């Protein structure tokens, strides 16, 4: 017999059953992308595998198997790369995406943070489309590289994965200070700090405002007025204080260093990488090997400068002096086993030409193609602390995938013309269609 009480009871039973029905409903299958490669290069071993399929789910690689064993489902997206050779996206651990290749002093002095940010948007896309899916940005004014990284991570703009340093730390009048204007303007670079307490404060401030790593100028540089690339700048004690704070707070330290004394002290202080290393000597090499310090050569820029550079006189002679010695010194460091990670100093030459650095390592310094490629994949990922997600094509790692016409171990210059770029499961370039 029907009654209001029976209706209420039935309604309560129906409501109570809703969660049970929801819990037993099958979850929708994850959408897959099948990247079918004619060849796949294992950068750990140098082995080339034919006819492989990389299964991508979300931003990561789910599996890799012979194509005959991977059948496409009705909801799968299939990307056929024909006979191309697939390998992991490349890494460049020394870039300046928010800077451009113009060293006219007036241009430098009229650069604003807003202009740097706009420049960064353009250069980030250019770098990604060149096959470099991850970079370290080591030096930018006003934390513009922090904002660039965050805009990429949010999907607002296209660009590589980025670790960023914010302003580089410098002594007063050093390579990373602003030295073009006279005293009356009282202009000081964003990262200038002198003395132990001041450098500790600057490290903490950089981290407060979003830095993933700390960049310091341990010696003078080339593209700066009034300093000497061979002269050490920060003292050993100051660098030890920088490294202690950075490491305690979970950040690595990259040291711009051309001169042998600065290289030696920076490695002794515990920095994670030496950038440039132009005047490296046997004592500094031995210290770096003992400490496991990475060397980040930036050598293609020298070739570009010889051919197309147009520097003011107070930069030009320093560049000429370094070009005369850097490759020979760095070749010696490579030959005795100093760890190498690829870096380019992109901005000193045009962005997007990053892969030319590999050509220098192989065809000028005698590195094997596999070792050179590992400097831009496994080694660079290790230096950046990203080995769990980057540097090789393996299940569980980011789906950062590039493709070129042939095996780069046969001709490393093929990496200068990348045909396909996927970063974190998203295709940004596909010239195979």
Provide the annotated active-site residues: 215, 345
pLDDT at 188: 82
pLDDT at 1: 43
pLDDT at 25: 55
Domain boundaries, the chain: 32-86+393-430, 90-384
* Axis-axis angle for helices 113-129, 144-153 (nearest 10): 50
Radius of gyration of the chain (CA): 25
Give the span between the Cα atoms of 93 and 207, in whole angstroms.
19
pLDDT at 347: 95
Query: Which CATH number, 2.60.40.10, 3.40.50.720, 3.40.50.12660, 2.30.40.10, labels domain 32-86+393-430?
Result: 2.30.40.10
In degrees, rounded to 5, the angle at the alpha carbon of residue 93 between the alpha carbons of residues 87 and 98 is 110
pLDDT at 226: 85
Give the span between the Cα atoms of 98 and 152, in whole angstroms.
13
Neighbour tally for 42: CB within 10 Å: 16
Q: What are phi and psi of 49, to 5 degrees?
A: -105, 135
- Those residues whose C-beta lies under 8 Å from the C-beta of residue 324, and which sit 6 or more positions away, are none
Q: What does the block give as tokens for 160?
A: 């590589």
CA distances from 185 to 153, 168, 178, 262, 363 (A): 37, 21, 11, 30, 47
Query: Using an 8 Å Cβ cutoff, are 295 and 343 in contact?
Result: no
Tens of each residue's pLDDT in the chain, 433 residues = 444 445 444 444 444 444 433 445 555 567 999 999 999 999 999 999 999 999 999 999 999 999 999 999 999 999 999 999 999 999 999 999 999 998 888 888 888 999 999 999 999 999 999 999 999 999 999 999 999 999 999 999 999 999 999 999 999 988 987 877 888 888 888 999 999 999 999 999 999 999 999 999 999 988 888 889 999 999 999 999 999 999 999 999 999 999 999 999 999 999 999 999 999 999 999 999 999 999 999 999 999 998 898 888 888 898 999 999 999 999 999 999 999 999 999 999 999 999 999 999 999 999 999 999 999 999 999 999 999 999 999 999 999 999 999 999 999 999 999 999 999 999 999 998 6
DSSP for 197-263? HHHHHHHHHHHHTT-SEEEEE-B--SSSSS--TTSB-S-HHHHHHHHHHHHHTT-EEEEEE-SHHHH
3-state secondary structure 194-216: CCHHHHHHHHHHHHHCCCCEEEE
pLDDT at 20: 39
pLDDT at 30: 73
pLDDT at 121: 98
Query: Using an 8 Å Cβ cutoff, are 122 and 163 in contact?
Result: no
Q: Does domain 90-384 have CATH number 1.10.3720.10?
A: no
pLDDT at 215: 98
């Amino acid at each position: 017999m029907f009654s209001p009480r029976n209706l209420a009871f039935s309604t309560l039973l129906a409501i109570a059953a809703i969660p049970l029905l929801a819990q037993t409903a099958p979850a929708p299958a994850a959408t897959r992308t099948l990247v079918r490669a004619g060849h796949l290069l294992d950068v750990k071993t140098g082995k080339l595998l034919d006819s492989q399929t990389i299964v991508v789910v979300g931003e990561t690689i789910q599996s890799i198997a012979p194509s005959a064993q991977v059948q496409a489902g009705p909801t799968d997206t299939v990307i056929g790369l024909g006979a191309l050779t697939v390998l992991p996206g490349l890494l460049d651990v020394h870039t300046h995406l928010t800077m451009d290749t113009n060293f006219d002093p007036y241009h430098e002095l009229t650069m604003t943070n807003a202009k740097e940010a706009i420049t960064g948007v353009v250069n980030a896309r250019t770098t990604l489309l060149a096959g470099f899916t991850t970079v370290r940005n080591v030096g930018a004014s006003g934390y513009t590289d922090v904002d660039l990284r965050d805009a990429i991570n949010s999907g607002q703009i296209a660009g590589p994965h980025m670790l960023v340093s914010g302003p580089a730390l410098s002594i007063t009048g050093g390579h990373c200070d602003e030295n073009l204007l006279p005293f009356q303007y009282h202009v000081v670079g964003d990262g200038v700090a002198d003395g132990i307490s001041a450098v500790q404060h600057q490290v903490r401030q950089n981290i407060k405002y979003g830095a993933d790593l700390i960049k310091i100028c341990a010696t003078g540089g080339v593209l700066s007025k009034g300093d000497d690339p061979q002269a050490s700048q920060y003292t050993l004690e100051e660098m030890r204080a920088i490294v202690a704070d950075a490491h305690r707070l979970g950040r690595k330290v990259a040291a711009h260093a051309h001169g042998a004394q600065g290289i030696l002290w920076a490695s002794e202080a515990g920095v994670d990488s030496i950038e440039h290393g132009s005047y490296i000597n046997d004592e500094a090499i031995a210290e770096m090997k003992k400490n496991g310090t990475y060397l980040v050569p930036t050598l293609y820029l020298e070739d570009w400068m010889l051919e197309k550079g147009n520097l003011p006189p107070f930069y030009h002679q320093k560049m000429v002096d370094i070009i005369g010695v850097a490759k020979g010194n760095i070749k010696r460091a490579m030959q005795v086993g100093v760890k190498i990670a690829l870096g380019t100093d992109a901005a000193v030459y045009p962005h997007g030409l990053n892969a030319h650095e590999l050509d220098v390592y192989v065809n000028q310094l005698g590195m094997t193609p596999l070792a050179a490629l590992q400097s831009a994949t496994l080694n660079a990922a290790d230096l950046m602390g990203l080995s769990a997600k980057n540097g090789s094509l393996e299940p569980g790692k980011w789906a950062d995938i590039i493709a070129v016409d042939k095996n780069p171990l046969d001709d490393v210059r093929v990496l200068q013309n990348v045909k396909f770029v996927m970063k974190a499961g998203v295709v940004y370039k596909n010239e195979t269609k």
